[in-house]
Structure 1
């Protein structure tokens, strides 16, 4: 899966990238680009990829689009702000906004000096899984309060329309991350098996669930609880049946 279309404007930055003003670029990458124009060159690194998506929000947007556009956009802005902060607290990079969702990367060497790429590739999976799982746990804990505020302020005659939930998917693997294309047509790309798998995990998650690959579970089991998310399943465009796991709360001693 490629995510090489620039994201929408974000609340944490309006930097210029790829020839277009107003496209969100993570502040860490903006600073790196200012230091070195080659800092965003496409490179391969091992990383944890995280997808988030608000289930049910498209239904709300469709039902209220003519009357509550400002409110709907404000809600999404609140969520994306909280998500960006959770990613940044845990030293990840926000790759792209996807409407009412986003993609983040933990452990990518993008923006670091070229010499750091090899070092990044030597990091154990646990060093990638733990910050990704922590960010997912933090955002999962924060989301119900956001949704409650949206319901309270909506004035909708049927509050059931505001039944939304946060879904999350996480996978670890080699990813290709960086600028792809030529000149003003370039964009920040994220490609690789882990990107596909994280996307499928998110799509298969229940509302409120953080669904992860076996590799993430193995890397995070000392810090987080996990339970099987049913039997192994076949995922679109992923070879072989995959055992997925629902991530629970961090172990008390790991907090």
Structure 2
């Protein structure tokens, strides 16, 4: 049954017009059509079987009735034996046949007894008896004579007669009339088809009405069930679209307790996990996230690679003194505002926030023009903080400044820590020197190393060379430069 249904839908989908209707109707229309087709098939098969069985039963009952009537006519053998004259015999048969027309048997058209030997009628080949008394004793046609010669058992035929000026379908039964086991005539009985199969025809109409009602109820029930099935799916689809558009506040209502209900619950759990993941990503650098996406679980072992990268450290000046004077909530608010400004600028110039260490930012740049990108970001940070401080000063709010240090060089970049807790970061002399430069930078000042200056694009920035500084871990003073702006 399913195979036939699939073939039907395949045929429909191959027709553009019907396929378009099916697509618009979706699962609901497919479900209703499937149920409707199944109901039509089931009702049709049941109706056909019931009607066929009823029709056969009625025809058999009528066959039996005709056999009984024929037997009653032919069982008058004793009367025929007692009467020697054929005319008298035919009169006896005429009374019997005439009596049949008065019984009120429904659908009875006529009965006749044809003489073929001159034994039951005065003359051979005449009507020995007929419900139409005018035909009694009359000769019948030569065609009938030929037909009767071949009849040796009961013969049933469907014929059409004109009754009350209307063509009427009838069943005609012809039974051999035997007298001491010798055929001496033919008994013919005719009934209208409607009398025999009328109850079947009426039952067929009733079945059609019942089938229409059942089909309507089935379609209604299928639509209700389909709607209950489709609504959660539509809700899920809407939720998926919202998630695709970045809305993770979506939460679907579980309306069923079946597989779709379980799927809805799992969808809600998935959204919860995505929200948690996105929140956690804010605490992890973009390079760490990229590494996790690129590696399989079994590849997340400790280890690193050597890279050449530029590092920018930015530290808020006077933060410790400010934090001692203000409530913790206000300190965090101020800190977040300044860190947010710097983080946005660093990302804008292709940098990645490696980590926040208190009031300090550590950022990395690894593109081809990493020196330019790092210095561009630093200059924008100084300008943005100057503008932010002007706005906050007008509002009577506390302002802070930053000092920035930039250096580049070869480092080890990778997964470090323990198997239970890892950090994807960079270690090396270049990192330490950038941090040292940041600690030496004055308020709203950018200090860069000789390596940065050597890799900057010409005539892009303004700056000046400062006195070399002595830093921890270095035997000789380090040449440093101050970037004062764009050229």
Same structural fold, with TM-score higher than 0.5 when normalized by the shorter chain: yes
Residue ranges of structure 2 left out of the alignment (5+ in a row): 1-274
Alignment pair present for 1:135 and 2:377: yes
Contact conserved, 2:448 with 2:480, CA < 8 A, in 1?
yes
Evaluate the alpha carbon distance shift between residue 90 and residue 47 of structure 1 in structure 2; reply closer, same or farther with a 3 A threshold: same
Give the alignment partner of residue 102 of structure 1, picking from 327, 349, 361: 361
Give the alignment partner of residue 228 of structure 1, picking from 461, 465, 470: 465
Task: Give the CA deviation at 1:53.
Answer: 0.3
Task: Give the CA deviation at 1:46.
Answer: 0.2
Matches within 5 A, 1:1-255: 24-37=283-296, 38=299, 41-65=303-327, 69-107=328-366, 123=368, 127-151=369-393, 162=398, 164-220=400-456, 222=458, 223-229=460-466, 231-251=467-487
Evaluate the alpha carbon distance shift between residue 28 and residue 73 of structure 1 in structure 2; reply closer, same or farther with a 3 A threshold: same
Partner Cα distance (2:277, 2:339) in 1: 17
Task: Give the CA deviation at 1:70.
Answer: 2.0
Contact conserved, 1:56 with 1:163, CA < 8 A, in 2?
no
* Structure 2 residue matching 1:247: 3-state secondary structure: strand
Partner Cα distance (1:59, 1:74) in 2: 16
* Structure 2 residue matching 1:184: 3-state secondary structure: coil
Task: Give the CA deviation at 1:77.
Answer: 1.1
Contact conserved, 1:197 with 1:238, CA < 8 A, in 2?
no
Contact conserved, 1:14 with 1:23, CA < 8 A, in 2?
no
Task: Give the CA deviation at 1:35.
Answer: 3.3
* Structure 2 residue matching 1:240: 3-state secondary structure: coil
Contact conserved, 1:43 with 1:177, CA < 8 A, in 2?
yes
* Structure 2 residue matching 1:85: 3-state secondary structure: helix
Task: Give the CA deviation at 1:71.
Answer: 2.1
Partner Cα distance (1:245, 1:204) in 2: 12
Contact conserved, 1:15 with 1:24, CA < 8 A, in 2?
no
Contact conserved, 1:54 with 1:100, CA < 8 A, in 2?
yes
Partner Cα distance (1:146, 1:14) in 2: 32
Task: Give the CA deviation at 1:93.
Answer: 1.2
Partner Cα distance (2:394, 2:444) in 1: 20
Task: Give the CA deviation at 1:145.
Answer: 2.7
Evaluate the alpha carbon distance shift between residue 59 and residue 225 of structure 1 in structure 2; reply closer, same or farther with a 3 A threshold: same
Higher relative contact order (CA 8 A, sep 6+): 1
* Structure 2 residue matching 1:42: 3-state secondary structure: strand
* Structure number with bigger Rg: 2
Evaluate the alpha carbon distance shift between residue 94 and residue 165 of structure 1 in structure 2; reply closer, same or farther with a 3 A threshold: same
The count of residues paired between Structure 1 and Structure 2 equals 209
| TM-score where L is the length of structure 2 | 0.40
Residue ranges of structure 1 left out of the alignment (5+ in a row): 1-12, 109-122, 156-161
Deviation per residue, 1:6-64 (Å, 9 max, x gap):
xxxxxxx9759xxxx57711235314412324589522100101100011111111111
Partner Cα distance (1:27, 1:196) in 2: 21
CA root-mean-square deviation = 2.6
| TM-score where L is the length of structure 1 | 0.73
Partner Cα distance (1:234, 1:14) in 2: 46
